[in-house]
Homo-oligomer: A and B are copies of this chain.
Amino acid sequence: MASSEYPASTHTPRYLTGDAAGIREFIDKFDVFLFDCDGVLWSGDHLFPGTNETLELLRSKGKQVVFVTNNSTKSRADYVKKLAGLGIPSSTREQEEIFSSSYSASIYISRILQLPPTQRKVFVIGETGIEQELRAEHVPFLGGTDPAYRRAIAPEDYAKIAAGDPSLLDPEVGVVLVGLDFHLNYLKLALAFHYIRRGAVFLATNIDSTLPNAGSLFPGAGSMSAPLIMMLGGREPVSLGKPNQAMMDAIEGKFQFDRQRACMVGDRANTDIRFGVEGKLGGTLGVLTGVSSKEDFVEGAVRPAAYLDRLADLLGCE
């Protein structure tokens, strides 16, 4: 659902930094906190001060914590390692607390899409996170990190691709899944385009145009889909990351929580906050340590119920 189809926010979000009573009241409303990660808990490889203490505070109050990330380059197992590496203490649930767009996409392909037996293979533009999650769901795939695709297109490839030569276009591919790929190239784009033209379902792990890193922005997964969208005359992929509600349904399916008692925490109005608003969660909480500005949260089309300068300001409830 595009934001234009959703009624624009008109309320003024509550500013909670320094408001101890307001924070207590806000926290008490929820049993489950869904956290976007990059820009909220950390930036790149830099853990924000107070992240651990804030997560501990919520857990000590009996809150369920779920990490919801659009970053498709890592699997859930990779994320457990990333959390550990950043010094975030693991809970008893470990991997089960993590939802990534690569996991969401794999679940969608294996359990929702009804692919004919002869069209079950996935052509992947993306990194190892997608491959690991597809493997866990027993979905056959090609492309991805296979070095055979990390080469320039050769003159003889054009005629082969045009003719549908099975040495380059596997006839059993029924899905093209596009995520962030640090090794995107012309050959992969040409193959993905031809698979989709031959009838493959066009999926994206997520459509974030940029990827925050080192305090700046770099090409995101959406930028990998952009050439294909243009070549297909504007046809967009089904995106399985935030704000797509397929991801919310998958999270709810696993935790069986009451949406009215759940809060989405994020730094991006148009993905994180929209994800919570369109998922009809009881609350949304914006933080100013990532992409969206105070102006975005207070005057934008999609606004959180409340916002903070930084997540650790929740510690101010005591």
Contacts and interface: CB of A to CB of B under 8 A. Distances in A.
A225 to B, nearest CB: 8
A210 interface: yes
A296 to B, nearest CB: 13
Contact of A231 (B44, B189, B217, B229): B217
A224 to B, nearest CB: 7
Interface residues of A, number: 38
B44 A152 contact: no
Contact of A190 (B219, B222, B231): B219
Given A226-B226, A230-B222, A213 B158 contact: yes
B216 A220 contact: no
A162 B215 contact: yes
Contacts of A190: 218-219
B227 A219 contact: yes
A175 to B, nearest CB: 20
Interface in A127-164: 152-153, 158-159, 161-163
A209 interface: yes
B231 A161 contact: no
The 8 closest A-B pairs by CB, nearest first: A162-B216, A223-B227, A226-B226, A162-B214, A158-B214, A226-B230, A159-B214, A209-B230
A253 B41 CA distance: 59
A211 to B, nearest CB: 9
A69 to B, nearest CB: 18
Interface in A198-218: 209-210, 213-218
A226 B229 contact: yes
